[in-house]
Every structure is written in C-alpha cells, then in structure tokens.
Structure 1
Amino acid sequence: MKNFLNRSLGLLVVSVIMLLSSCQDEAMTTETYRAMVPVYLQMSDIRARQMVVEPGKELENPGKIYLYGDLLLINEPLKGIHILDNSNPAAPVNLNFIPIEGNVDLAVNDNMLYADNYVDLLVFDISNIRAIKQVERVENVFNHLYSNSETGVIITFKDTVITSTSIRDFRAENIFLTSSSLGFSSNFSDASRSYGQGGSMARFTLMSGHLYAVDDYSLRVFDVEEPASPQHLKNIELGWGIETIFPFQGNLFIGSTTGMHIYEASTPSDPTRLAVFEHAQACDPVVVNEDYAFVTLRSGNTCWNGVNQLQVVDIENLRQPKLVKAYDMLNPHGLALAGDYLYLAEGQHGLKSFKVSDVNQIDQNQLEFLTQMKSVDIIPGPKSLIVIGPDGVCQFDYSTPSRLKPLSCINVKNPVVV
C-alpha cells in the first residue's frame, strides 16, 4: 500500500486528434489519453457498515504476520485479518476472518486487536475468539496515507481511457502538439504486559503501554494503557521514506529508505531522536540485539538503489551508530534474530540462516539456504519459526538452528511473484 497511493500518479497522453473546422480562428480538439484516475470511498459509508466476522477462508495474498499466544494472525492486504489457532504449529486451524477494508497492519495488546481501516484505527476484543467484537474506532489518525477530503478517501487508482473534446481559440497561439502530466497529491513485548509479536516488516508495534505506528513520513503515538480505548497523543515527523519499526529495551528502531532512525522512549508518550544511521537508498527492515542492529537493504520497484546487502551496525553507543560490516545478498527482505542465529528472507530466492555470534564472519557461517522457501518476513516464535512469502505461510521447528525441520504450510491458491 505504501507508495502505491502516493506514486500511482500521472497522466500519459496517448494521442491528440485535432479536427479543424471551416473557421480559421477556431479548432475542435479531441484528446484521448490514459490516466490513473483516483477511486474514492466515503469514510462515512465505511463507518456505517456493520462488520461481521466471517468463517475461516483461504489465503489469497498474505501480508503481515503477527503472533499472539497460540493465535497466528495473517493480514490480507486491504481486505482484513485471518485468525488461526496455532497451538499445534504442525497443524494450524483456520478459525475466522475479520473483513477490514484498507487494512495493512495489526498489533495485539491484552486481547485487544488494533487494525487500521484506511484513515481510522479499529479495536477488536478477541478474548473470545468465537465471538470477536469491535469495541472502538479512533477516526482520522492515518490521513497521511490517503487523500481524505469532501470527495472521499482515495483508496486506489484505476487505469482509465479518457476522451475529452473542447474548442480552442488559436488566434493568439501557434498550433502544436503537447504532452502533459497530472498529479494527485495526498496529504516485542514488555515482560509485564500481554503483547503479541510482529515481524520485521511491521509498521505497528507496542511498548510500555503505547502503540507506535509509522507511515511514509511520521511516527504516530497512542496511549493504550487502557487497551480498549487508544488515545492518539501526537505525530512525530520523521522525513520521507519511513517503512518499519522495531522495539527493543525501551528504544524504537525505525527503518527507512535512507537510513535507520533510533528513538529513545523512556518517556513513552514522547519519544526523542538519538541518531540516524544513513545508508544507500533502499528498502530497510531492521532487527536488533544488545550490541548490534541487523539491517537489510534491497532493490526493487520502490527501492531504487541497486544495493542488496545485510549490514551490521554497532549500537553500543545509540547516539553514534556505526557500520561494522556489509554482506552482499540476493534480494533480502525481512529478518529475525533468535539468540546467536539470524534468519533472513531472500524474497523469491529463498530463506537463509546464519550464526552471527561473530559479526565479522557472518558470510563464513551460513547454515542453510532453502531455495524453495520464497520468503518475505519471519517471526521466531516460542513453538516455531514462522515464515511468510508469496506462496503462503510455513512453519519450522528450529530447535536445532543449523537444520530447520518443516512442520506445516498454508498455501496460497494463486501466488504472486515477490
């Protein structure tokens, strides 16, 4: 969703047919062109719709993954959230599906599921998984991702052929062929708390009684000490290209297309910036431990630089992060740490695992490369390693880190290329 709404803009003139009338001073001009025309929805209509939880359904296009106790939640981008009983990772059971238009991210706090619904934040009580109910809606807190006006919320752009005819007066100008463009602008858990666990591609995270959500430009802060009643406190502008957020020991590590932002949140309602570690322009998930941040940089449709690397950053001094070493990869996406072991999603190329106790020798300590496991993100859960990719969601026994043992896979009917 990120960048799609903001970058799917523009107008391509395909042909201009000029029909000259008998009048020498005027001409009938017909223009036929293709345009990405905005598709609007009224939030008032969306808010008025009754949300009915549906029985479990097959995955079509898996997005974010989230683990909460024995529940595995899988986002279906812009459509909703699948909820599975994952008490036995070898045989997960598809329980139900919450249809949520415009949903991209999620997090769970003390049985309260937070999910975006275009510009709104929804809260669902999932304490009884067979009787899920919506308990709150916080309106207009994600306006940055959409153009929200009297016309409505722009939810996508449709490739449309447009023909327009007008009379032009050429008495004061020369006849010439022009092409133009049109733009549409648009404005892991605390030990004492019951939070879930997201992947490295997450844009929502929970820490110290607060929900933190990032969009392309900013960090949004919500007080969730009362889990069913989030209070939107503030937005912190971060600059352009913000992508992911990862919490660790009272700090927030925010990945962007140009660098890793480090924010200290000892005052949870008011995170303060400590440093920005800059890197080449590329997509940038991040995970950390006490000493190092592990950052993947990749090229792709929205990641313009040709860099495909795993970078290791020394964060002993959070105010002065410094690059230790960079390792070339194929097209790295999300990643996960489990003690001294790093699991790295290589997109359509597969899934890699490394021992990283010596950060200067990571390339010499690759354990496995599962080329058949197309992967985008990973969660190292207490019972299994959960890997999501375009073909579906697979789980592995990783009790022996050097050899992943397949447990189960939930496949997608018509997988797409990463």
Structure 2
Amino acid sequence: MKFNYLLLFFVGCFFISCSNDKEYEYLNVATPITITTAELRASIEVLPAQDIVESGKIYAYQQYIFVNDVDKGVHIIDNRNPAQPTLINFLKIPLNRDVSIKGNYLYADSGRDLVVFDISQITNIQMIGHVENVIENYQAIAYPEDADLYNFDDYDSYNDIIIGWDITVERREVADDIYYETLDNATAGGGGTGTGGSLARFKIVNDHLYVVDNSSINVFDIQNLASPVKVGQEYVTWEAETIFHEDDKLFIGSRTGMFIYDISQPSSPQYLSEFNHMRFCDPVVVDGDYAYITLRAGTSCMNGDAQMLESRLEIVNISDIYNPQLEETYIMDEPYGLGIKGDQLFICDGASGLKVYNKSDISNLQLLQNYTNINAYDVIPMDERLLMIGNNTLTQYNYTETGIELISEFTIQ
C-alpha cells in the first residue's frame, strides 16, 4: 500500500511539474539603452578619421563626400583624386541619418535636433549650434528584429533618448507579457548646395531646407545659413521615408505611396496628388514625365509581417501631376536607392548588385550592366562620375557610352 501511495505521489509531482513548465517560456527581452537629451547634445564632436560601423547614405559637396555611419555620425572623405580617396575626419553625431550642405554650412539631424556645422575649413570644422526639438517624429534607433518583448519599465519617453538595445533571454510566465509593451505600443511618441541620393530625407531648395521625418515635411528658412529657423510643418502620412525635388515640386516616398507637393510658396508645401501602392520601402526619383519608384518587400518593410508580393521597380506617368498613373512594372530582387543620368537608370538591388539600364524606352528597359560582386545601397549620379555606397564601401565609376567603368573602391576603415 505504501508503494502505491508513493507511486501516486511521484506521478502527481511529475504532472504538476509538466503543468508548471507549460506556463513558462524563454523570450528575448529588449531593454532600451538610453541617455538624456543633454548628454546626447554634449556628446557631439569633431574627431579624427574613424572606422565605419554601418554605412548609410552618401552626400557629395564640392570635392568631398560625406558618408553617414548609421546613428553614429558622418565620415568625411577627400575625393579630389577619385582614384585614391582619403578619410579626413569624423563628425560624431548620435542618432544621425542625413546631412545637407549649402555655402559651407552643414545641417545634420541628431534625434529631435537639427545641428549646424561650419565646414569652410574642412580640417578645422566647427559646430556652431543646435536648433532643438524641431524634428518631432525623428527616425529612431531600429527595433531589434529578434526581440519578442520590449521592457520599457524604466524608460522616460519625455527625457530619455534610446541609443541602443540590451537583449537578454529570460524565462517568464506566459501571462507576464501583459506587463511589457510590444513594438506597436512602444513607437508612440551662400555658395551652392551639395547632392544627396534617392534615400535622402533632407533637401535644400534655394533658401529653404526641407526635412522629412516619419510623418511630416519640416520647413526651415536658411537665408541666414548659420541660424536656420523652422517656419512650417506639413503632415504627409505615417511612415514617410524619402524626399526628391524636381522644378517646384517635392516627391515624398513612403511605405504606402508617393506624395506630391507644390513648393511655389516655399514655406508652405501644398498637397497636389498621390500614387498609392501596397506596403513597401519606397524611394523615388523623377525625370521629365516619369517617376521611378523602387519598392522593396521583406519583413523590415512590413513591420514584421509577411509580404507576398515581389520587390519591383514601378514607373509612374506624372505628366498629369494631379493624376499619377502606373505605366510599367519590373521585378527586382532587393532594391534600395536609384538614380538617373541621361538615358541611364541606376538601381541598387541590394545583394544582387548595381544594375545599369537604358531607359530610353520605358516599356522595354534594357539591362546594360550588372555589377554582381557588390552589395549596393544608394547612388548619386554626378556630372562627371557615379558614386555608390554599400557594405561600408564607396565605389566610383566613370560614364561610358554603353554604361559605366570602375574608377575605385574605397572601404572606410
């Protein structure tokens, strides 16, 4: 009899243990690494040349190239000899993604702030001021894709700035996740200009700087180059991504479509029309009567959701600016930035490399070249050469009658 009771006891313990185990799971919990706004502003400085961590966008001004190091700052490259570029220095700017330059004044985002540098002496750059809290819906640090939960217990959204994530594996009761926010809940909250790529969020037009944040066009008067003043803000849509200027129009790329604004009154952009598409990442460039839009699928462009449609290039007829119409579609692999020079169309197709097309007949694009040994992110078609960035490497090409030819490859390290 004792044996039977003892057996029942152990069997009962086994089932209780199994039942308890089923109430727990192992989760990747992401906790934000933060600094205060004051600490962020105090950390901006000009440093000697540094190794790059993650290359972002590029910007060209005079004989220099500015390469964004995502959320870290800006590397400055002397490109007077394109065959042998050299690193000069590094602007440490936390939460930086974009720059734009006019008359030797460089404007850069740093979280909610617009920062101004005097670059008239490229080896002795001076930071001359902040315009504080003017980019309300700034592009925040990316949320880690492998996180299951986000722990915001000690996060003060009004005073803290997220600069990274600490991810730990934790054993939690299944019911515990009601105390932790998910990703959706956590996201509330005078001498010429340079040239940026199609992924830019900054654009200078005459005496105004237009900055696209995650939802709006922010307008700055820069008649006094050293002291920009915010003079307007126009809501576009949530998940706005890029800006392109042609004539007196701004073309805003978003994850849901292209939005067209008139800036004949520079401080007050006026909505004209839009072209909608399924949810994709979406830069746009314009040439004549056509807008060229690369649409990249994938979970990072879908807030983690599945995307059944293929990545593509869409060519939109904008001859009637109030009624854009889809003209042609071409399937791509992983498109990011793009650019145009004459009849040549350059598409950065991610791991599939840089593709060069003849676009003289938009209904029958001809692939001229495909540089497949590179990871292509963004391009700037300059007058004399093509600049491309990808995988921490700046690549430069000369134009030819049949495409492009390599000048140099320069890894930032």
Partner amino acid for 1:322? Q
1:334/1:401 Cα in 2 relative to 1: closer, same or farther (>3 Å)? farther
Q: Superposed, which structure 2 residues align to 1:212-251 within 5 Å?
A: 212-251=210-249
* RMSD, aligned CA: 2.5
Write 1 or 2 for the structure with the bigger share of helix: 2
Q: Deviations over 1:189-245 (max 9, x none)?
A: xxx961100000111111131111112211111111211111112221112221111
Q: Residues 387 and 396 of structure 2 are in contact (CA less than 8 Å); yes or no, is this contact kept in structure 1?
A: yes
Post-superposition offset of 1:186:
3.1
- Say if 2:76 is the partner of 1:83: yes
Aligned partner of 2:383 in structure 1 is 382
Aligned partner of 1:252 in structure 2 is 250
Aligned partner of 1:25 in structure 2 is none
Aligned partner of 1:366 in structure 2 is 367
Q: Superposed, which structure 2 residues align to 1:69-148 within 5 Å?
A: 69-145=62-138
Aligned partner of 2:147 in structure 1 is none
Q: Residues 45 and 93 of structure 2 are in contact (CA less than 8 Å); yes or no, is this contact kept in structure 1?
A: no
- The 1-side partners of 2:218 and 2:176 are apart by 43
Aligned partner of 1:410 in structure 2 is 410
Partner of residue 341 from structure 2, selected from 326, 338, 348: 338
- The 2-side partners of 1:154 and 1:133 are apart by 26
- Say if 2:61 is the partner of 1:68: yes
Q: TM-score, normalised by structure 1?
A: 0.83
1:372/1:162 Cα in 2 relative to 1: closer, same or farther (>3 Å)? closer
Q: Residues 287 and 295 of structure 1 are in contact (CA less than 8 Å); yes or no, is this contact kept in structure 2?
A: yes
- The 2-side partners of 1:109 and 1:41 are apart by 31
Post-superposition offset of 1:282:
0.8
Q: Deviations over 1:149-168 (max 9, x none)?
A: 44412333322356899xxx
1:239/1:148 Cα in 2 relative to 1: closer, same or farther (>3 Å)? farther
Q: Residues 347 and 355 of structure 2 are in contact (CA less than 8 Å); yes or no, is this contact kept in structure 1?
A: yes
1:343/1:244 Cα in 2 relative to 1: closer, same or farther (>3 Å)? same
Partner amino acid for 1:331? E
Aligned partner of 1:308 in structure 2 is 311
Q: Deviations over 1:52-103 (max 9, x none)?
A: 4222233332111000011111011111111111122111121111111111
SS at match of 1:35: strand
Partner amino acid for 1:154? I
1:67/1:177 Cα in 2 relative to 1: closer, same or farther (>3 Å)? closer
- The 2-side partners of 1:258 and 1:397 are apart by 35
- The 2-side partners of 1:31 and 1:311 are apart by 44
Q: TM-score, normalised by structure 2?
A: 0.84
- The 2-side partners of 1:148 and 1:340 are apart by 52
Aligned partner of 1:12 in structure 2 is none
Q: Residues 341 and 401 of structure 1 are in contact (CA less than 8 Å); yes or no, is this contact kept in structure 2?
A: no
Q: Percent of counterpart pairs with the same letter?
A: 37
SS at match of 1:360: helix
Which consecutive unaligned segments of at least 5 residues does structure 1 have?
Answer: 1-16, 21-28, 166-175, 414-418
Structure 1 residues 56-65 or 309-318, which shifts more?
A: 56-65
- The 2-side partners of 1:140 and 1:218 are apart by 14
Structure 1 residues 322-331 or 120-129, which shifts more?
A: 322-331
- The 1-side partners of 2:111 and 2:330 are apart by 37
Q: Residues 89 and 384 of structure 1 are in contact (CA less than 8 Å); yes or no, is this contact kept in structure 2?
A: no
- The 1-side partners of 2:284 and 2:156 are apart by 31
1:312/1:148 Cα in 2 relative to 1: closer, same or farther (>3 Å)? farther
- Say if 2:347 is the partner of 1:347: no
Q: Residues 37 and 159 of structure 2 are in contact (CA less than 8 Å); yes or no, is this contact kept in structure 1?
A: no
Aligned partner of 1:5 in structure 2 is none
1:280/1:208 Cα in 2 relative to 1: closer, same or farther (>3 Å)? same
- The 2-side partners of 1:103 and 1:179 are apart by 32
Q: Residues 60 and 412 of structure 1 are in contact (CA less than 8 Å); yes or no, is this contact kept in structure 2?
A: no
Q: Residues 104 and 191 of structure 2 are in contact (CA less than 8 Å); yes or no, is this contact kept in structure 1?
A: no
Aligned partner of 2:195 in structure 1 is 197
Post-superposition offset of 1:148:
7.2
Q: How many residues align?
A: 371
Partner amino acid for 2:329? A
- The 1-side partners of 2:403 and 2:109 are apart by 37
- Say if 2:160 is the partner of 1:152: yes
- The 1-side partners of 2:188 and 2:175 are apart by 30
Which consecutive unaligned segments of at least 5 residues does structure 2 have?
Answer: 1-16, 141-154
- The 1-side partners of 2:24 and 2:54 are apart by 41
- The 2-side partners of 1:410 and 1:56 are apart by 14
